[in-house]
Structure formats: structure tokens, C-alpha cells
């Protein structure tokens, strides 16, 4: 299993920065970095993240003290790609970087979305209080992203078997992060608040929990709370994994600034999460 604690603290070079919607930018960083070891210059590769992990990112120079948690959207051997929504100072600085500039990087941090074939998911499914799963049938899976929460779940969906999941993308107006999902997903459902794309409305207008055994989601807390409640009270009672977006400071498990409440007591969102079984978190 991959460590939830950050494995590198370094500065990575911006390969590209592209505006993908009104306030959302795609930031691509090079994974190969120069590191000084005494007088020697070493070439180091930022370790492979697993789907669901994030990095603490900070533009250089910066007016903010601490990095901001940003999920990995996509990665390959050479690059890490992030989707960043301009919110306050830290994310605005990250959206304003130029090609060749340095960005401070700490990570990868956190756990991952458990694979549908993993022992963890199998045990959770078999402990469901409702229907038992027909062992000869594949699990039915929904992947749900709300707004910028699309980034980690869309990246995760790219690792699932093609045609093995339905994808729900819920946005205010413009869309981003959905490249390739129209082909990979069995069904791609889009909602927008203003009706400019897909169905006008919200997740609750299109989502039926009784269709699924397993749900993965990231997005605004009200959407995650809706999913938790609707799945828990449904007949089929799908297992739900939520990636939570909590304010963070150290991003390394040390400051307790990201504590969330669970039925097992307090947990650190950064290194005990950010992915939690919805049945265990108190939202
Ligand atoms: C695990 C994790 C993964 C994330 N992944 C992404 C991502 O892929 N792309 C992306 O754009 N954003 C992501 N975020 C949210 C992002 O970290 C915050 O928007 C960012 O920290 C805000 O920093 P700022 O300096 O721009 O704004 P600030 O000035 O710090 O805050 C501006 C506003 O954003 C709110 N805010 C601050 N931190 C958070 C937070 N963690 N969640 C929700 N609201 C917050 C503040 O209350 C304030 O209203 C993620 C957060 C977490 C915890
Ligand atoms: S952000 Fe410091 S413990 Fe999680």
C-alpha cells in the first residue's frame, strides 16, 4: 500500500498552464526535478501518486505561507496534471503561474479510492445490511463529481475498466475534466445549474441509488451529504466512498488542522483520508 505521508518536498517546473473554463485552470508540472545533495545536483522523479491522492501546492514566489491541497487529476511518466479553481489567494497565484516557473510541491499525500476488486470493497459490500450481491454479476458503479471535485474522481475513473461505471458530472455552468469519459463511461450524465449543458438541475434530479452497489464521489459538502443520506436510506444501500475537502495547514498529519468527525472518533483528513467510507463519517 502507498504511504499517505508526503514523500517529497521540492519545487517542480510548470510545463503548461491553460484556462479550461471561466475560473478553472489546468496546471501541468514536470515530475523530474533537480535536487542539490551537498555540492552534487541529483535528478529526482516525484513519486507516482495513486488515484485520490493530492499534493500541497504553492506558487513561487507566493504571498501565502502554506501550500494548498490540490488533487491529482491525471499523471504520466513525465507530468502531473491538476485542475485548479480560483478561490482565494493561494489558488489565484497557482492559476497565474507561467511556463518555466517553479511551484512548491509536497506530496503525494493521503489514501486512495479503493479499487472495486479490493478486499476492502469486497468486505464492505458483503457487510451491507440490504441486498446480497449476486456473485456472478459485476458490481454496478457510479462515479460522481461536483464542480472542481470532478478532478480526483475523473482521474480515478480513467483507471476503471471501460464501460464498468456510470459517471455523473454536476456543474454550475461550464464543464471541465470530462475528457474521454463519454467513451469510457457506460453512461455519462451531466447536470448544470443554468441548463447550459446536460440536464438543468442537480445530482438529486438524476441520481437513483437503487441502481448501484458502489459509489465514489467528490464535491461540495451538501452534495456529499445528499449522497450519503440517499444511499443509506435506499433499498439497495450502496457502499459510498467520499473524498472530503477540508481546510488544511501542514498536509502531513502533524497539525490536526484538518480534523473531521467519524463514528470511530476524530480523523485527520489529510493522511487518514481524504477518502472515507461515507458510513463512517459524520457530515
Ligand atoms: C484533499 C483536497 C483536495 C482538493 N483538490 C482540489 C483540486 O483538485 N482543485 C481545486 O481547485 N481545489 C481543490 N481543493 C480545494 C482547495 O484546496 C481550496 O480551494 C484552496 O485551499 C483554497 O485556497 P485559497 O488560498 O485559494 O483560498 P483561501 O483564501 O484559503 O480561501 C478562499 C475560500 O475558500 C474556502 N476554502 C479554503 N480551503 C478550502 C478547502 N479545502 N475546501 C473548500 N473550501 C476551502 C475558504 O473558506 C474561503 O471561503 C482540495 C481540497 C482538499 C482538502
Ligand atoms: S493538515 Fe495538518 S494534520 Fe492534516
How many angstroms does the Cα of residue 91 sit away from the middle of ligand 1?
A: 8
CA distance 232 to 239: 8
Q: Is 150 helix (H, G, I), strand (E, B) or coil?
A: helix
Instruction: Answer yes or no: do 82 and 174 share one domain.
Output: no
- Ligand 1 probe mutation, 6, 27, 68, 111, most atoms within 8 A of CB: 68
pLDDT score recorded for residue 42? 78
Cβ of 97 less than 6 Å from ligand 1: no
Instruction: Answer yes or no: do 86 and 176 share one domain.
Output: no
Cβ of 268 less than 6 Å from ligand 2: yes
pLDDT score recorded for residue 82? 98
Instruction: Answer yes or no: do 157 and 201 share one domain.
Output: yes
Instruction: Answer yes or no: do 85 and 156 share one domain.
Output: no
CA distance 52 to 186: 21
Instruction: Answer yes or no: do 125 and 231 share one domain.
Output: yes
pLDDT score recorded for residue 134? 58
- Ligand 1 probe mutation, 91, 113, 248, 276, most atoms within 8 A of CB: 91
49 belongs to a structural domain: yes
pLDDT score recorded for residue 34? 77
Task: Count structural domains, the chain.
Answer: 2
Specify the CATH number for the domain of residue 160.
3.40.50.80
Instruction: Answer yes or no: do 176 and 209 share one domain.
Output: yes
Cβ of 2 less than 6 Å from ligand 2: no
Q: 217: Cβ–Cβ under 8 A, 6 or more apart, which residues? A: 143, 144, 145, 146, 149, 153, 223, 224, 227, 240, 241, 242, 243
Q: Which atom of ligand 2 is nearest to the CA of 269?
A: 4
Report yes or no: 48 and 33 within 8 Å, Cβ to Cβ: no
Specify the CATH number for the domain of residue 73.
2.40.30.10
pLDDT score recorded for residue 49? 96
Instruction: Answer yes or no: do 166 and 88 share one domain.
Output: no
256 belongs to a structural domain: no
Instruction: Answer yes or no: do 185 and 93 share one domain.
Output: no
Nearest CA to ligand 1 atom 36: 247
- C-beta neighbour count of 48 within 10 angstroms: 15
Structural domain range at position 79: 8-109
Q: Average pLDDT by consecutive 10-residue portion of the chain (283 residues)?
A: 88 97 97 80 89 97 96 97 98 98 96 94 82 69 98 97 97 95 96 96 97 97 97 95 96 97 97 97 95
80 belongs to a structural domain: yes
Amino acid at each position: 500500500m502507498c504511504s499517505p505521508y508526503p514523500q517529497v518536498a521540492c519545487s517542480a517546473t510548470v510545463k503548461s498552464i491553460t484556462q479550461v473554463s471561466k475560473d478553472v485552470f489546468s496546471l501541468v508540472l514536470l515530475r523530474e526535478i533537480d535536487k542539490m545533495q551537498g555540492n552534487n545536483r541529483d535528478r529526482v522523479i516525484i513519486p507516482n501518486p495513486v488515484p485520490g491522492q493530492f499534493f500541497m501546492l504553492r506558487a513561487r514566489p507566493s504571498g501565502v505561507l502554506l501550500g494548498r491541497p490540490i488533487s491529482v487529476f491525471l499523471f504520466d511518466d513525465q507530468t502531473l496534471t491538476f485542475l485548479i479553481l480560483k478561490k482565494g489567494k493561494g489558488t489565484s497565484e497557482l492559476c497565474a503561474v507561467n511556463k518555466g516557473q517553479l511551484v512548491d510541491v509536497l506530496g503525494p499525500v493521503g489514501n486512495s479510492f479503493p479499487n472495486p476488486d479490493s478486499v476492502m470493497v469486497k468486505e464492505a459490500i458483503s457487510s451491507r445490511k440490504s441486498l446480497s450481491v449476486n456473485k456472478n454479476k459485476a458490481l454496478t458503479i457510479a462515479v460522481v463529481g461536483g464542480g472542481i471535485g470532478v478532478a480526483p474522481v475523473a482521474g480515478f475513473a480513467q483507471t476503471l475498466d471501460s464501460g464498468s461505471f456510470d459517471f455523473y458530472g454536476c456543474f454550475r455552468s461550464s464543464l471541465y475534466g470530462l475528457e474521454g469519459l463519454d467513451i469510457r463511461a457506460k453512461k455519462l450524465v451531466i447536470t448544470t445549474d443554468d441548463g447550459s449543458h446536460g440536464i438543468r438541475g442537480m445530482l438529486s434530479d438524476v441520481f437513483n441509488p437503487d441502481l448501484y452497489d458502489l459509489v465514489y464521489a467528490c464535491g461540495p459538502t451538501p452534495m456529499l451529504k445528499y449522497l450519503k443520506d440517499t444511499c443509506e436510506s435506499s433499498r439497495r444501500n450502496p457502499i459510498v466512498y467520499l473524498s472530503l475537502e477540508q481546510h488544511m495547514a501542514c498536509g502531513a498529519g502533524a497539525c490536526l488542522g484538518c480534523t473531521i468527525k467519524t463514528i470511530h472518533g476524530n480523523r485527520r483528513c489529510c493522511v487518514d483520508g481524504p477518502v472515507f467510507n461515507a458510513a463512517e463519517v459524520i457530515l
